[in-house]
Amino acid sequence: MGLFVRVLALGAFFAGALVLFQSWAANDKAADDKIVTLYKNPACTCCEGYADYLRRNGFNVKVVETDDLAAVNEKYGVPEIMAACHTSIVGGYVIEGHVAVDLVDRLLAEKPHIIGIALPEMSPGTPGMGGQKNETLAVYAIAPGAPVFGTQ
């Protein structure tokens, strides 16, 4: 009986350890989803505004200045028509332009099979841009034949 109890206790210990490990792994993945690399032209100031917006919303943002944003977009599969003034990489997805954080969070939660999402214009009133938003803006999925992802 003693051996049986010890084996049972050992099994319970390993089962508990597995649950803890899975929990830690899930937390690490959630933390990874909050790490952003934002590529921008050194002269662009609205991109810094967008980086600050992401930081205020819980993201850890690293800004990388580049004089060749087109090469960054090519590397990550962003079509020229979707290109904006900066390209962010978060959770394995591309965020192109001044996309609202609620759509970034939705993308990270839903994990669709797309390259990312894009707001290709530098529209007034969007996160990081000055001015007042005057219309609802389409945020596009970046994928062959993909539909509009959402609006902001």
Q: Write the pLDDT tens digit of every residue in 90-139.
A: 999 999 999 999 999 999 999 999 999 999 888 888 888 888 888 899 99
How many CB atoms are located within 10 Å of the residue 4 CB? Answer: 8
Confidence of residue 48 (pLDDT cuts 50, 70, 90): very high
What confidence score (pLDDT) does residue 31 get?
Answer: 59
Residue 59 shares a structural domain with residue 111: yes
Is the pLDDT at 63 greater than 60, yes or no? yes
Q: Domain span at residue 20?
A: 1-32
Give burial (CB, 10 Å; 0-12/13-18/19+) of 149. Answer: buried
* CATH for 110: 3.40.30.10
What confidence score (pLDDT) does residue 119 get?
Answer: 94
Question: Whole-prediction pTM value?
Answer: 0.75
What confidence score (pLDDT) does residue 15 get?
Answer: 36
User: What span, in angstroms and rounded, lies between the C-alpha atoms of 84 and 98?
Assistant: 8
User: What span, in angstroms and rounded, lies between the C-alpha atoms of 129 and 122?
Assistant: 7
User: What span, in angstroms and rounded, lies between the C-alpha atoms of 89 and 100?
Assistant: 14
